[in-house]
Amino acid sequence: PQAIYRKDYTPPSYWVNTVEMGFDLDPDLTRVATRMTLSRNIGSRGKSLVLYGESLELVQLRMNGKEVGKRGYTLGNGVLEIFNVPAEVTLDIETALRPNQNTSLMGLYTSNGNFFTQCEAEGFRKITFFPDRPDVMATYKVMLRADKDKYPVLLSNGNLIEEGDLGDGRHYAVWEDPFKKPSYLFALVAGQLVCQEETYKLQSGREVLLQVWVEEGNLDKTQHAMDSLKNSIRWDEERFGLELDLDRFMIVAVGDFNMGAMENKGLNIFNTKFVLANPRIATDADYAGIESVVGHEYFHNWTGNRVTCRDWFQLSLKEGLTVFRDQEFSADLIGTDSGRAVKRIEDVRVLRQAQFPEDAGPMAHPVRPDSYVEINNFYTVTIYEKGSEVVRMYQTLLGRDGFRKGMDLYFQRHDGQAVTCDDFRAAMADAGGRDLSQFELWYSQAGTPRVKVETRYDEVAQSYMITLTQSCPPTPGQPNKLPFHIPVAVGLLDSGGRDMPLVLDSVEGGDDRSVAPTTMVLELTEPSQTFHFRNVREEPVPSVLRNFSAPVILDIEYTDAQLAFLMANDSDAFNRWEAGQRLAMRRMLALTEAVKNGEALDRNADENALGAAFRATLTDNALDPAFCELALTLPSESVVAEQMDVVHPQAIHQVRRFLRRALASALRFQWEVAYQSNRTPGAYSPDPVSAGKRGLKNLALSYIVELDDGDAHKLAQSQYDNANNMTDRIAALSALVNSNAPGKDAALASFYEDFKQEALVVDKWFSLQAMARHTDVAAVRELMNHPAFSLRNPNRARSLIFSFCNGNPAQFHAPDGSGYEFWADQVIALNTINPQVAARLARSLDRWRKYAPELQDRMRAALQRVAATKSLSKDVHEVISKSLA
Ligand code: HT7
Ligand code: ZN
């Protein structure tokens, strides 16, 4: 397969002005008639018109009403090239396609008998031949025709302008979208669906119709999505002055979907996982996920739809910015300082858990990639999460008001256009009056920068120096890196744990603010820079990279005592959490080394700095329970693995478990107290305070059950039996399944019986087992034989296979290589069903070169087996070949 390069971008030879489409929907054979008007681009005289099409039958092709003869075009390799096209032209194209056979879930497909589309990134070309690229923007008018009984609901983008009967048992609906859009935002939905609807008054007084469409039987699960949508609309008005531009906004839930959701103009299509919720089936995490994904898709209406991407290399222009916006939305909605900090910690955890490894592995790529083989492989944590961190750094550098001015200027300049990441940066720079040219490197250089911190206190001069030195490791195709522009937020703590006022020496005549700040953003732009603080009365403990002000790895040497001090005192909640994680990581790495050297772990030896710090946190009643939960959770096995040169998954697992048991036994009484005092009696509510309490209570339960005694089992069993919500029920089930409790098999069986009608809960049931510590490869293969299992449904495949390969490292990396054989089998099977999902699974071996040589050999063999498979999709081929390179 051929790579596509950013440097090769050329504008299209023709623009499309209007598109009219007629669909005769039939699951076996759908016919699509498309009429488009086009205008030749300046400087394109003599150039052919290039249209893309895949898995399509071309039934008819007419130009200005006349059939185009065989000599007038060529068709091959997904490209329809038409020659001698006039400057202004009307094209009529008829295509035929087979939605029922479309298991890729791209283009037009069926799910549980209903029709759905997914056009981002290049799915529209599976519906008709089209210049399917995001810089070609047109208005669309769409007529849907279908059997009235089977498909009573017919939806597309924009406004419904006409509907009626066709007489023969069929009916039609005509939709018109007044806004120009790229083809990837096209959508249609047809089938048996019902909706919850509300009218909502915008700040301007205009009323809009909001609808959430689901399959019958699910109307009791739409309220949270509807509330989240209304909150999103209000938030975008208040924070960014952005109003919903349509009279109608629809969300539709579908059970078969490759990703989380899709921001099609006015007709968002969602994975059911991010719509359906009630206390019986959804956890607190599900509720939070729905809120953020509903927000994310809604916010795309401006950042993505009104202003879109010139080409797919600019994907982070919309995705990084929109993730930043959804993160801020969720944080603002919580409202409290500690809630904001919790949200920030959760977001950084995702970045470290998933993006840092990506940036250090064979698929590392810049936020704005230079090339790709298959664009679907670039919907990555780098584009989304690191992209969001890059946007956040603008806000850190320019301030909240400066950032808002930059956003206003961006929309003023580019509304209705398809633009680049450079355009966004220029708007920020111009609005803020800043030179942000060096900042471009965040878009062009891959890899996670490291910032080394060295300090020196001069007691006589009462000055304190912080030297920051940056570096960035080589990544594929980028052996050498230039220094980044890195905002490093810093505070200094005195011996009483209070923030010291900060006065930088470089500021002439001191700071002109009457009160010196206690957090300062140092701008690191050179390979190494020293910052001098004056009037520093005593040697401080530095708190560096507050609120995680840049996506970097901080190398800083703290003693255990300093970490415990920061954990207890830092006014920056993120760094309080960070200090605890550093303490835990240090201990885990030391113990893992001991296990690798064959040393026994002494259970009683663990009342050390970590134990004391945990005790202090657990017994501090002033702390927010949600923060406590995060602070008392040890770094995950995969985060520990990233810190090691040679990874030993079983050793890490053994150590994490050992430490959890040690902490459980040393603090048993305190865990019991935390359990009891964080109960949330009464009706379930997903609000952040209640969710935080449940989080801490269930963490306490998981520690207690580590002790695996009768009392612990009883506590978990009783919570399981009496739970009035899914958060508590699944937490109890997970605790039981990961223990030797006598009732665990019965609980698993009864859970399935109780929830077998709820697909999303059955996913949880598979996932919980896939990640359980006793579940080996054989058990997963057995679970694949369960009647409820199917590889065709992405949620189900993810719930079992991905959960095992990515969420159960000790079993997946079994020394005999059976996990890798299983992985290869599933990648190969998925490759023919759904290449996009297969390629995601293929990423599970990204970090294979970090493992012990015996494991590496087995992983290489599995990778090579996949590479040698016939008819490998370009999705899987790209991932595997980069892994093996
Ligand atoms: N913009 C959406 C991307 C998306 C997608 C991409 C490829 C294949 C299937 C897909 N479904 C959705 C999602 C988002 O970021 O909002
Ligand atoms: Zn998005």
Say if ligand 1 is within 6 A of residue 254 CB. Answer: no
Residue 26 sits in the same domain as residue 172: yes
Residue 132 domain flag: yes
| 260 alpha carbon, closest ligand | 1
Please give the distance, rounded to the nearest whole angstrom, from the Cα atom of residue 147 to the centre of ligand 2: 33
Whether residues 184 and 322 fall in one domain: no
For residue 259 the two structure tokens come to 């990703």
Please tell me the distance from the alpha carbon of residue 61 to that of residue 44, in angstroms, as a whole number.
22
Q: Low-confidence residues of the chain, pLDDT below 50? A: none
* 136 in Cβ contact with 183 (< 8 Å): yes
Give the bridge partners for 486, in sequence order.
524
Å from CA of 259 to ligand 1 middle? 6
Ligand 1 within 6 A of CB of 259: yes
836 CA distance to ligand 1 centroid (A)?
A: 11
Instruction: Report how far ligand 1's centroid is from the alpha carbon of 85 (Å).
Output: 34
Q: Is 296 close to ligand 1, i.e. is its CB under 6 Å away?
A: yes
From the CA of 117, the nearest ligand is 1
In this prediction, residue 512 carries a pLDDT of: 60
Nearest atom within ligand 1 for CA of residue 105? 9
> CB of 445 closer than 6 A to ligand 1?
no
Output the CA 471–ligand 2 centroid distance in Å: 30
Would you say residue 592 lies in a domain? Answer: no
Please indicate whether residue 256, judged by its CB atom, sits closer than 6 Å to ligand 1.
no
Residue 166 forms part of a structural domain: yes
What distance in angstroms lies between residue 768's CA and the mean position of ligand 2's atoms?
28
Residue nearest to atom 12 of ligand 1 (CA): 262
122 lines ligand 1 (CB under 6 A): no
359, part of any domain:
yes
Distance from residue 260's CA to the centre of ligand 1 (Å):
7
For residue 844, how far is the Cα from the chain centroid?
Answer: 16
* Ligand 1 atom with minimal separation from the 304 CA: 1
- Give the number of the ligand closest to the Cα of residue 318: 2
120, 184, 267, 317: residue to mutate for ligand 1 pocket, most atoms within 8 A of CB: 120
Ligand 1, atom nearest to 375 Cα: 7
Q: How far is the CA of 318 from the centre of ligand 2 (A)?
A: 7
Report the alpha-carbon distance of residue 653 to residue 234 in Å, rounded: 45
Could you give the CA distance from residue 731 to residue 712 in angstroms, rounded to a whole number?
14
Q: What is the pLDDT of residue 506?
A: 76
Give the 3-state secondary structure percentages of the chain, helix then strand then coil, rounded to 5.
45, 20, 35
Q: How remote is the CA of residue 351 from the centroid of ligand 1, in Å?
A: 19
State whether 332 and 477 are in the same domain: yes
CATH number of the domain residue 26 falls in: 2.60.40.1730
Q: What ligand has the least distance to the C-alpha of 120? A: 1
> What pLDDT, on a 0 to 100 scale, did the predictor assign at position 484?
99
Among 192, 225, 253, residue at a domain's last position: 192
Nearest CA to ligand 1 atom 14: 262
Neighbours of ion ligand 2 (CB under 5 A): 319, 322
Q: Is the C-beta atom of 263 inside 6 A of ligand 1? A: yes
* Choice from 103, 259, 273, 836 to test ligand 1 binding pocket (greatest atom count within 8 A of CB): 259
| CA-closest residue to ligand 1 atom 5 | 120
Amino acid identity, residue 719? Q
Q: Is the CB of 379 under 6 A from ligand 1?
A: yes
38 lines ligand 1 (CB under 6 A): no
Q: Does residue 665 fall inside a structural domain?
A: no
Query: What is the arrangement of strands in the sheet containing 159-165, beginning at the earlier edge strand?
Result: 66-67, 57-63, 88-97, 30-40, 14-24, 137-147, 170-182, 159-165
Number of domains making up the chain: 3
- Residue 254 covered by a domain: no
Q: Is the CB of 262 under 6 A from ligand 1?
A: yes
Ligand located closest to 104 CA? 1
483 in any annotated domain: yes
Give nearest CA residue, ligand 1 atom 6: 120
The Cα 53–Cα 187 span in angstroms is 17
CA of 623 from ligand 1 middle (Å) equals 38
Pocket flag, ligand 1, residue 578 (CB < 6 Å): no
686 falls within a domain: no
User: Does ligand 1 lie within 6 Å of residue 118's CB atom?
Assistant: yes
CATH at residue 778: 1.25.50.10
- Which of 254, 262, 376 to probe ligand 1 with, by most ligand atoms within 8 A of CB? 262
Q: Coil, helix or strand for 681?
A: coil
Three-state DSSP at 688 gives: helix
What pLDDT is attached to residue 706?
A: 98
The atom number, within ligand 1, closest to the CA of 258 reads 9
Q: What's the CA-to-centroid distance between 18 and ligand 1, angstroms?
A: 24
The Cα 701–Cα 723 span in angstroms is: 14
120 CB under 6 A from ligand 1? yes
Among 552, 577, 606, the domain boundary falls at: 552
For atom 13 of ligand 1, which residue has the closest CA?
A: 262
Pair 244, 202: CB distance under 8 Å: yes
Residues 564, 613: contact at Cβ < 8 Å? yes
| DSSP tag of 354 | I
For ligand 1, the distance from its centroid to the CA atom of residue 318, given in whole angstroms, is 11
Ligand 1 atom closest to 300 (CA): 16
Q: Is 314 found in the same domain as 182? A: no
Task: Dig out the tokens for 562 from the structure.
Answer: 């300093």
Instruction: Give the residue numbers spanning the domain of 830.
Output: 756-885
Catalytic residue positions, numbered: 297
What one-letter code names the amino acid at 530? T
We report the CATH number of the domain holding residue 395 as 1.10.390.10
CB 105 within 8 A of CB 26: no
299 ligand 1 Cβ < 6 A:
no
- Domain boundary (146, 163, 192) is at 192
* Closest alpha carbon to 483 in 550, 528, 549: 528
- Give the type of residue at 757: Q
| Nearest of 538, 536, 543, 585 to residue 560 by alpha carbon | 585
* Backbone angle region of 84, left / alpha / beta, with phi > 0 → left and psi within -120 to 50 → alpha: left
The ligand whose atoms approach the alpha carbon of 325 most closely is: 2
Q: Which two tokens stand for residue 240?
A: 């960014």
Site to probe by mutation for ligand 1, drawn from 379, 382, 388, 798 as the one with most ligand atoms within 8 Å of Cβ, is: 379
CA distance 441 to 664: 46
* CA 547 – CA 344 distance, rounded (Å): 7
Query: Read out DSSP for 294-336?
Result: HHHHHHTTTBTTTBEESSGGGHHHHHHHHHHHHHHHHHHHH-S
Region for residue 229 given its phi and psi (left: phi exceeds 0; alpha: psi -120 to 50; beta: otherwise): alpha
DSSP string, 476-531: TTB---PPP-EEEEEEEE-TTSPBPP--BTTSTTS-SSSS--SSEEEEE-SSEEEE
**Same domain for 186 and 311?**
no
Q: Is 258 in the pocket of ligand 1 (CB under 6 A)?
A: yes
